Amino acid sequence: MALATTPLSTPIAIATRFGRFDVREESVITFAEGLPGFDQCRRFVLLSSEDIAPLWCLQGLDAPEPSFLAVDPALVLPQYRRALSDADRARLGDDKALVWLALVTIGGEEGGDAVVSLRAPVVINSKRMVGAQVVHPRGQYQINHPLAIG
């Protein structure tokens, strides 16, 4: 999955719990409303490495710099339906540049089972570099769907 870029800026090194990454300003994704629980964090980058593939790291750049593991929902549920409401389509666009990610949560303090939120995926327009968390209609998908890839 390639995100759109223009002339490249100087890379900036950021450290995450998943390793060190070099990012460029062109790679910053703006979430106008932030993410639930992190409303003040508006700038994120999407990071990948062989060590965490097929997962991605959605790393916040604004305090408190939240970091989320994410996965393509179609890897978890092959028949996953990608659909936007009219309002979401207006703010994100409705084209082939949309990247869909389900956020991964590890249950409990002792590292319980991993689940993904198929009901509220993060959608990124890789041309415009904007993103939002969208909500599917009630009951269509689980909030805590077991993570199993393959």
- Per-domain boundaries in the chain: 12-146
pLDDT value of position 83: 87
With a cut of 80, say whether residue 8 has pLDDT above it. Answer: no
CA-wise closest residue to 84 among 95, 70, 73 = 95
pLDDT digits (tens, 9 = 90+) for 26-74: 999 999 999 999 999 999 999 988 888 999 999 999 999 999 999 999 9
pLDDT digits (tens, 9 = 90+) for 109-131: 556 788 999 999 999 999 999 99
Overall pTM > 0.95:
no
* Secondary-structure class of domain 12-146 per CATH: mainly beta
